[in-house]
Amino acid sequence: MSAPGLYAADHYPLTDRLTLAVNAPRTDTLRATFPYCTESRRVTCVVDGDTFWLSGERIRIADIDTPELSPPRCEAERLKGEAAKRRLRELLNVGTFSLVAGWRDEDQHGRKLRRVTRDGRSIGDTMIDEGLARRWDGKRRSWCG
């Protein structure tokens, strides 16, 4: 089993990764229109580059880490965090997607931990490829200089 606190797919034992692949949805069925979240009631909206609400449930994308926005530690982190937030909103709004659970259901903040996939590919991988996220390795690291 993986070390406590790790929940990225890369850290699952091979048998768990195979189970996740087998259990992944064959067809993407979720669709919603995602505005940005405000301080008022949150139902379906984007908080930042790796957290969003869907139908009243708070979701943390389990396989990535993006720059913090509340609060950012430096201007570079704020700028990249805003770009990641915009990109997540675009990716969620472009079409149907799926949420894939891992071996851990929630994080310490009560957010549901899910990989978000479209056509079987993690949108987290897309954000990593675009330089807006890092693969989650179990610990937060600085986005500043």
Domains in the chain (CATH in brackets) are 9-135 (2.40.50)
Q: How big is the chain by its Cα radius of gyration, in Å?
A: 15
Q: What's the whole-model pTM score?
A: 0.81
ω before 25 within 30° of 0 (cis)? Answer: no
Element (H, E) at 128: helix 123-129
Location of structure tokens 């449930």 = 57
pLDDT in tens, the chain (145 residues): 333 333 334 444 444 444 444 455 568 999 999 999 998 889 999 999 999 999 999 999 999 999 999 899 999 999 999 999 999 999 999 999 999 998 889 988 899 999 999 999 999 999 999 999 999 888 888 899 7
Surface-to-core class of residue 113, CB atoms within 10 Å of its CB (0-12 exposed, 13-18 middle, 19+ buried): buried
pLDDT at 44: 96
- Contact of 49 with 124, CB cutoff 8 Å: no
Closest CA to 61 of 30, 92, 26, 18: 92
pLDDT at 15: 42
